[in-house]
């Protein structure tokens, strides 16, 4: 068996091998950006990096469109009133996970928003507490109304 040959079929090994790649690649790219900012693009490439790959990386990072996008994202993060607890997941992915827990339940937008701003232990982000309570109250009020908008009373 050669150095890079697998003793299992590729379709079985690939999902297992790629499971952590995205985080490793993001971490590596971030460390390369730090080196680029610290030493500039005219300096020699870091050890262990192919010169062709480093040159393409520098070209990509210095692209005016990329620089503008980074600046725009930076401003958006500064202007954001509060963040969420989804990490790299989307609201659709969060909804899918919620449906996996309870398939017979229908999930409202308010419930997805509330779940996205709660930590795993159930605590709410400090920056989102006021809005969280407003959304929760609105969701409860909406649940208490019938389809024609009248209050539902139980006797």
Q: Is residue 139 part of a domain?
A: yes
Segments in 7-128 forming alpha helices (H):
10-18, 21-39, 51-61, 64-79, 91-101, 109-116
> Do 69 and 45 fall into the same domain?
yes
> Do 74 and 98 fall into the same domain?
no
Tens of pLDDT, residue by residue over 39-84, are: 877 666 778 888 888 888 888 888 899 889 989 988 988 887 777 7
> Do 99 and 71 fall into the same domain?
no
State the pLDDT at residue 65.
93
CA 121 to chain centre: 19
Tens of pLDDT, residue by residue over 8-22, are: 777 777 777 766 677
State the pLDDT at residue 1.
46
State the pLDDT at residue 64.
92
Q: Which has the higher per-residue pLDDT, 47 or 1?
A: 47
State the pLDDT at residue 5.
67
> Do 73 and 97 fall into the same domain?
no
Q: Is residue 3 part of a domain?
A: no
Q: Is residue 151 part of a domain?
A: no
User: Mean pLDDT of all residues in the chain?
Assistant: 80
> Do 95 and 135 fall into the same domain?
yes
Which domain, by its residues, includes 128?
91-143
Please, what is the angle between helix 129-143 and helix 109-116, to 10°? 150
Q: Which has the higher per-residue pLDDT, 5 or 87?
A: 87
Tens of pLDDT, residue by residue over 110-155, are: 888 888 888 888 888 787 888 889 888 988 888 777 555 565 555 4
Q: Is residue 84 part of a domain?
A: no
> Do 36 and 60 fall into the same domain?
yes
Total domain count, the chain: 2
DSSP symbol at 83: -
Q: Is residue 149 part of a domain?
A: no
């Amino acid at each position: 068996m050669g150095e890079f040959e697998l003793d299992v079929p590729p379709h079985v090994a690939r999902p297992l091998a790629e499971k952590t790649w995205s985080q490793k690649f993001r971490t590596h790219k971030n460390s390369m950006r730090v080196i680029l900012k610290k030493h500039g693009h005219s300096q020699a490439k870091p050890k262990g990096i192919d010169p062709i790959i480093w040159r393409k990386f520098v070209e990509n990072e210095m692209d005016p469109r990329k620089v503008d996008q980074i600046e725009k994202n930076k401003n958006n993060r500064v202007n954001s009133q509060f963040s969420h607890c989804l990490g790299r997941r989307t609201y659709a992915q969060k909804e899918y996970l919620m449906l996996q827990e309870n398939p017979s339940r229908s999930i409202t937008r308010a419930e997805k928003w509330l779940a996205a701003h709660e930590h795993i232990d159930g605590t709410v982000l400090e920056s989102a507490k006021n809005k969280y309570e407003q959304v929760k109250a609105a969701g409860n009020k909406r649940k208490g109304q019938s389809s024609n908008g009248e209050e539902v009373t139980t006797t």
